[in-house]
Structure 1
Amino acid sequence: MSTDPANVLFAAPAHLWAAYRGALPRAFADAGVDVRLSPDHAPEAVDWIVYAPGGPVSDFSPYTRAKGVLSLWAGVERIVGTVPAHLPLARMVDDGLRQGMVEWVVGHVLRHHLGLDQHIRHQDGTWRHAPPPLASERPVTLLGLGELGLACALALSAMGFPVTGWSRRPKDVPRLVRCLAGPDGLTEALRGAGIVVLLTPLTPDTENLMDAVRLALPPRGFVLLNPGRGALVDDAALLEALNAGQVGHATLDVFRQEPLPPGHPFWAHPRVTVTPHIAAETRPATAARVIAENVRRGEAGLPLLHLVDRAAGY
């Protein structure tokens, strides 16, 4: 293990430096890692790059000494093609992201499961006695069983929902969650789902994952929640399915263009809820601990956490 401080470059948008300039030194100190942290290190002196798109680094070739790139984002579709293949790339997976996503998904599943909108919006003196079904009668399907998807699946399962998870490749998951994989598994996972949650990474294979064909697979009136990536959904097909009643409601947190343009039809559609990409925010206090742990591991010659599989794209 090196006895010299590691030079860590903070290469993220300038507005983030104010939050991380305090959180990162505390996390490095707690992890027992000796570093020099700066947004201004000379490229040839940099050992580690803390990175997010929109910052000062777009060309990694001058960073000849760098040992790895540590992303502040959970999604890496805008990063994986930029960072050279010889540089290890770690995505962000931390307790803050995980907890935030679980709370958003559970909250919106319960909103639609319990039919809360009819009680909130229809305060007109009419007694509408329509008890919701129990959770055990509302199948939920989660597409994507990574760190965030599995955490949401287990939380919903603990509340009594029958949960089916799907991933592109087979996974060993707790028995509380039924797990399917591959194209045939995707079809089976969607059939019978009362609520569908999208949490797959965005890759060429998952773009437009929910197209017209797959939107037609669940029972009529199902609810679609997308806190994953905007391009997982074919927008035109979703609008058609909403207008036809095949999709009863879509709650969307992510979009192909963000912020969502004011004239986009999602804003005015009576069966669409827009939330402004708030499902799982990277929080400096928890993200800094993950960055510090990865630098500690790298300096000690240990494998990095949450390394991106370049072949898979995430």
Structure 2
Amino acid sequence: MRIIVAHHNPASCERWRNALAHELPDAEVFIWNDAETRKADYAIAWAAPSQEFFARQPRLKAFFSTGAGVEKLLASSNLPVALPVIRLEDAGMGAQMATYCVGTALNWIRQRDEYAKQQQAKRWQPLPGEDMADWPVGIFGLGVLGRQVAEAFAALGFSVNGYSRSIHSFPGMRCFAESGGAGDFSAFLAATRILVILAPLTPQTRDRFDRSALAQLVPNSYVINVARGELLVDDALLALLDSGHLAGAALDVFRQEPLPPDHRFWTHPAIRITPHVSAITVIGPSAHQVAAKIRSLEQGAAVSGVVDRSRGY
């Protein structure tokens, strides 16, 4: 069995090759280059390689993505239509997402920015305490990552609402679903003070959080986006922050990355920015997951994480 690593980052290529070789000692794991002629059974990369790559790899059984989001990969015309694509499922990203989102929310609730200003002014002034019961959290997207974030909030005593494409039922969470119709989406927004956007980017979720949607959040709400920048309409967020309807936002993903220097997000006092670091791929556990799926595929068994191209995830 042969596995070809075609990651765009040379250092990541080496690390993926070494990790997969450790997990699958009987496999031949090698890195793609322009002179490579060996034919592989499986490929792994973050983005779709060149047409030449796929022309030289006609016997691939599956293509493994090194990320959870696959919209850019699926958009590539180089990717063969019939080639199964398998995405990562968590592999350490869920815990990172949970700490990022919960930590951000707690900073708002405990008014850390206000106390930082007081420190600079050398002013001692305790602020009124906040009750977490007044901070219902809404998780938009209840996949593997979304559920872990929801569970982390619930464990701290937050009231948690979840919204997903289909109907779910999870302990300690009030669930809304796309299949319930437009009323369910409005009810989800109206019940949410901290909105956490965690759904994949699809034609149905692109620009989902426009001004009409964000205006349905309760007054003085906050937004956390750790999904994709295209789910959130930039001008709508800015307008509702300026009007005072929204109190703040924490953004880790953007329509254009890196975020252009002249974008207003950089200087808005109510926005906190991080450079797409809420959850990074941890190669060790990710390689373990990929190896387990390859072993299952070699035995003729079905695996999870296979991308439905009609859905986009």
Provide the residue aligned with 1:130 in structure 2. 127
User: So what's the TM-score if we normalise by structure 1?
Assistant: 0.91
Whole-Å separation in 1 of the counterparts to 2:51 and 2:293: 20
Check if 1:121 corresponds to 2:111: no
Task: Measure how far apart 1:113 and its partner are.
Answer: 1.8
The residue type equivalent to 2:30 in the other structure is S
Task: Measure how far apart 1:81 and its partner are.
Answer: 3.4
8 Å contact from structure 1 (residues 251, 272) kept in 2: yes
Which 10-residue stretch deviates more, 93-102 or 129-138?
129-138
Provide the residue aligned with 1:160 in structure 2. 157
Provide the residue aligned with 1:277 in structure 2. 276
Provide the residue aligned with 2:65 in structure 1. 71
Provide the residue aligned with 1:80 in structure 2. 74
Task: Measure how far apart 1:61 and its partner are.
Answer: 4.5
The residue type equivalent to 2:268 in the other structure is H
Identity %: 33
The residue type equivalent to 2:282 in the other structure is R
Whole-Å separation in 1 of the counterparts to 2:304 and 2:202: 21
Counterpart pick for 1:9 among 4, 7, 14: 4
Deviating runs (4+, > 4 A) in structure 1? 41-44, 54-59
Counterpart pick for 1:39 among 3, 20, 31: 31
Which 10-residue stretch deviates more, 61-70 or 249-258?
61-70
Whole-Å separation in 2 of the counterparts to 1:157 and 1:194: 15
**Given the superposition, is the C-alpha separation of residues 175 and 26 from structure 1 closer, same or farther in structure 2, using an over 3 Å criterion?**
same
The residue type equivalent to 2:89 in the other structure is V
User: So what's the TM-score if we normalise by structure 2?
Assistant: 0.92
Query: Deviations for 1:51-108, whole angstroms, at most 9, x for unmatched residues?
Result: 2117556763443211101100110101123333321111111331111111111111
The residue type equivalent to 1:52 in the other structure is W
Whole-Å separation in 1 of the counterparts to 2:48 and 2:59: 22
What does residue range 51-200 of structure 1 map to in structure 2 within 5 Å? 51-53=45-47, 55=49, 60-82=54-76, 83-123=79-119, 124-171=121-168, 173-182=169-178, 183-200=182-199
8 Å contact from structure 1 (residues 230, 256) kept in 2: yes
Task: Measure how far apart 1:130 and its partner are.
Answer: 2.1
**Given the superposition, is the C-alpha separation of residues 8 and 118 from structure 1 closer, same or farther in structure 2, using an over 3 Å criterion?**
same
Query: Deviations for 1:257-302, whole angstroms, at most 9, x for unmatched residues?
Result: 1111111110011011000100010011111111111111111111
Report the 3-state secondary structure (helix = DSSP H, G, I; strand = E; otherwise coil) of the residue aligned with 1:45.
coil
**Given the superposition, is the C-alpha separation of residues 85 and 70 from structure 1 closer, same or farther in structure 2, using an over 3 Å criterion?**
same
**Given the superposition, is the C-alpha separation of residues 47 and 267 from structure 1 closer, same or farther in structure 2, using an over 3 Å criterion?**
same
Report the 3-state secondary structure (helix = DSSP H, G, I; strand = E; otherwise coil) of the residue aligned with 2:5.
strand
Report the 3-state secondary structure (helix = DSSP H, G, I; strand = E; otherwise coil) of the residue aligned with 2:158.
coil
Query: Deviations for 1:230-268, whole angstroms, at most 9, x for unmatched residues?
Result: 001001111111111111111100001111111111001
Report the 3-state secondary structure (helix = DSSP H, G, I; strand = E; otherwise coil) of the residue aligned with 1:296.
helix
8 Å contact from structure 1 (residues 253, 276) kept in 2: yes
Counterpart pick for 1:20 among 12, 16, 19: 16
**Given the superposition, is the C-alpha separation of residues 106 and 57 from structure 1 closer, same or farther in structure 2, using an over 3 Å criterion?**
farther
The residue type equivalent to 1:116 in the other structure is R
The residue type equivalent to 1:151 in the other structure is Q
Task: Measure how far apart 1:18 and its partner are.
Answer: 3.0
8 Å contact from structure 2 (residues 69, 87) kept in 1: yes
Whole-Å separation in 2 of the counterparts to 1:56 and 1:64: 13
Provide the residue aligned with 2:312 in structure 1. 313
Whole-Å separation in 1 of the counterparts to 2:52 and 2:208: 29
Whole-Å separation in 1 of the counterparts to 2:117 and 2:296: 52
8 Å contact from structure 1 (residues 44, 64) kept in 2: no
8 Å contact from structure 2 (residues 163, 177) kept in 1: yes
Which 10-residue stretch deviates more, 198-207 or 110-119?
110-119
Which residues of structure 1 form unaligned runs of 5+? 1-5
Whole-Å separation in 1 of the counterparts to 2:128 and 2:263: 34
Whole-Å separation in 2 of the counterparts to 1:18 and 1:262: 33
Number of matched pairs: 304
Whole-Å separation in 2 of the counterparts to 1:243 and 1:40: 50
**Given the superposition, is the C-alpha separation of residues 43 and 93 from structure 1 closer, same or farther in structure 2, using an over 3 Å criterion?**
farther
